[in-house]
Amino acid sequence: MKKYLKMLSLVVICAFVFILGNKSLAQELNDKESSFLKEGEQVQEINNENEKTDIVKKANSLLLFLNIKNDGKSEKVFKVINTNSISGYKDYYKMIYNGNSYISFTENGDLVEADTFFYKVPKSDFTIRNRTVGNESSIDMFKAVMKDKGYVLTDLDENYGEGNKFYAFDKVIKGNITNKYDSYSVVYDPDKENIVSLTKVHNPVEYKKPSITLNEAKNIALKYSKEESTNIENSILGVYKDDNDIVKLGYVIKFKNGKQVVINPEDSKVVKEDVVKGYKGKAFAYDGFSHYRESLNMANNGLRRLGYSMLPEYVLTGNISSPIEGAITTSGFRALYVDSHGSPDRISTNGYYLDRDYLRRNYPNLKLRFVFLDACSTGENSGWASTFKINSNWGAFIGWSDSVYESDAYEFGKVFWREANGRRPILKAVDEAYRQTRPNVRPKFYGNSTFYGTSD
């Protein structure tokens, strides 16, 4: 019994020391560094020089693989425990470097996560030579590693923003069946030839031979949904997440109207019914501004990264009221970006306008999650935020406190949409963009200060 009590006391003391370590650590990190720590990560900074040197060497070898230069002047190294990590690793190392980037990896050198937050970072001073054919780009080498690990490229966006490209590699279960919940996602800068962001997700699933055929599953889905067979858009044996977040095999039957039915391939039961993502978004921009096209693209790509199903972007050349009303009344609409003229009471283009009072009277039940009215004085007070039912407990609204120069708003937007990546609160993205660009007036944020801006 005494031995048990001694062991229990030791555990309590160790836990207490670890908590104290975290508390002092939080005081040592600046706001930007603190934003690199994810929810659920318990960290302890490593200050032992020998141990730190060894870990930094491992980190630098991985950065060489990603083709990123580490200036070696501001490295901070941490031991991380994260029982809820999406990567599948519960303990790993994290190094913050260059003042604006981090990389996470296991003791064996397996990459967990890396991010430069879309900064244009210098590429490594060294060159890795391919085993057989000379110099190879970092993305080509990464593709080769993915192939060796049993992952295939399933998604490629060559216009991801800021000149970058997005790649997603999913684990092959069997044949053409892949698991998007067991994947690597990377953002590649073709200009610098380096991988500026990497995320690993690990939710594996084993293949089991189905007890029913795909045609049988389609017939079950048709009977359940009361749809016509001509309305089936796609049907595959794929994966889905059940109500307990467990990834399983399932026949996924998609219909042209956005409905989706999932059939258990073992017992023929309908296990999931879904519709096209309920939370939609749309970006509008007035063509009277010199950067309207760039602002429109940044907002459209940014909201898509936050998880919204984007309706076609819209260039405002005249009437502003009808197209915006058409968007906000769309079922499941939750995210809005408008680049226009504005005031505390209306947004406008050349001779056309939409009043805040009109929206409040005609759409009293309007409730959005994310709104950025990129227009003068829309953030002078909380009126616009209230119109969209955004408050301290719900959503995010961004406007301008006064009349803003178009060029200043554009520069702010470039940084904001880079920072609003779903990994930090929108408020922090606003603050970071303001500190970096210093527009002539302040951006104003209203809403939940901890909201990440995502659609889910």
CATH number at residue 421: 3.40.50.1460
Assess whether 41 and 64 both reside in one domain.
yes
* 258 shares its domain with 307: no
CATH of the domain at 175: 3.10.450
Neighbour tally for 192: CB within 10 Å: 20
Are 296 and 437 part of one and the same domain? yes
In a domain, 344, yes or no: yes
153 within some domain: yes
Q: How many CA atoms lie within 13 A of 265 on its CB side?
A: 20
Residue 286's DSSP bridge partners are: 316
What pLDDT was estimated at residue 8?
Answer: 36
User: Within 13 Å of residue 28, how many CA atoms lie on the same side as its CB?
Assistant: 12
Last residue in a domain, options 52, 75, 109: 109
Query: Are 328 and 383 in the same domain?
Result: yes
306 and 425 in a common domain: yes
Contact between 68 and 74 under an 8 Å Cβ cutoff? The reply is: no
Domain match, 146 and 97 both: no
Q: Does 114 fall in a domain?
A: no
In a domain, 294, yes or no: yes
Mean pLDDT for each 10-residue chunk of the chain (456 residues)? 37 36 49 75 92 95 92 90 88 92 93 81 61 66 95 85 84 95 91 91 93 96 90 91 88 81 94 69 93 93 89 89 90 92 94 92 91 96 94 94 92 93 90 90 93 88
Q: Kindly state whether residues 331 and 424 are assigned to the same domain.
A: yes
Strands annotated E in 133-267: 134-135, 151-161, 164-174, 177-189, 194-202, 232-241, 247-255, 260-263
Same domain, 232 and 370: no
| Domain contains 340 | yes
**Crossing angle of the two packed helices 426-437 and 406-419, in degrees rounded to 10:** 130
Strands 333-339 and 370-374: parallel
Query: What pLDDT was estimated at residue 132?
Result: 37
Residue 307 pLDDT: 86
**Phi-psi map region of 407: left, alpha, beta (phi>0 left; psi -120 to 50 alpha):** alpha
Q: Are residues 404 and 432 in the same domain?
A: yes
pTM above 0.75, yes or no: no
User: Is 1 within a domain?
Assistant: no
In a domain, 10, yes or no: no
Strand partners, 422: none
Answer yes or no: do 232 and 322 share one domain. no
pLDDT score for 275 = 56
**Total domains in the fold of the chain:** 4
Q: What is the pLDDT of residue 433?
A: 92
Which range of residues forms the domain containing residue 191? 129-202
User: Are residues 250 and 358 both part of a single domain?
Assistant: no
The predicted structure's pLDDT at residue 122: 78
Looking at residue 4, its pLDDT comes to 37
Question: In the listed set 202, 226, 253, which residue is the last one of a domain according to the structure?
Answer: 202
Q: What is the pLDDT of residue 294?
A: 93
For residue 161, the model assigns a pLDDT of 63
Predicted local distance difference test score (pLDDT) of residue 131: 36
CA–CA dist 125, 69 (Å, integer)? 7
What is the model's pLDDT at position 351? Answer: 86
> Quick check: helix, strand or coil at residue 259?
coil
Q: Domain ends where: 222, 241, 274? A: 274
Residue 106, token pair as written in the block? 């296991």
The burial class, CB within 10 Å (0-12 / 13-18 / 19+), for 444 is buried
Using CA atoms, how far residue 353 sits from 80, 234, 243, 335, 347, in Å, is: 52, 42, 45, 20, 6
Q: Does 75 reside within a domain?
A: yes
Residues 133 and 195 in one domain: yes
* Tokens representing residue 405 in the block: 């120069």
